[in-house]
Structure 1
Amino acid sequence: MGYNVTVDTEKCTGDAECVDVCPVEVFEMQDGKAEPANADECLGCESCVEVCEADAIVIEEM
């Protein structure tokens, strides 16, 4: 079972909170926005969703 991680770049403010909180380094900053560069590593803990004040991150079970 895996997870689909998406970031709405229109909503993303680039504060990098998701990068800091993710225990498995799913996110990287690219052009000032969070990018789920290692989405296949996602554990589904949703820590990133909780810290994202812009509601820019969605995690869906595949």
Structure 2
Amino acid sequence: MGKKGKEKNTLNKAKHTKLLNRKKNKLKKEKETRKERLKTIMANHREQHKSEEDQINN
């Protein structure tokens, strides 16, 4: 049997999914940029640490 009374709101479903997808994409992009920043920081740190070791050894 069907639901009695007022119809369920189906007008905003497309808008809602659009906003949720936008939010998901934003979070994914932020996660990727954070990973890239970490990679560059780690690479710089390794390079600096390696150059310090070379100076100590020479």
Q: Which bracket does the TM-score occupy, shorter chain normalised?
A: under 0.3
Greater Rg, structure 1 or structure 2? Answer: 2
Question: Which structure has more strand as a fraction of its residues?
Answer: 1
Question: Which structure has more helix as a fraction of its residues?
Answer: 2
What's the TM-score once normalised by structure 1's chain length? 0.18
What's the TM-score once normalised by structure 2's chain length? 0.19
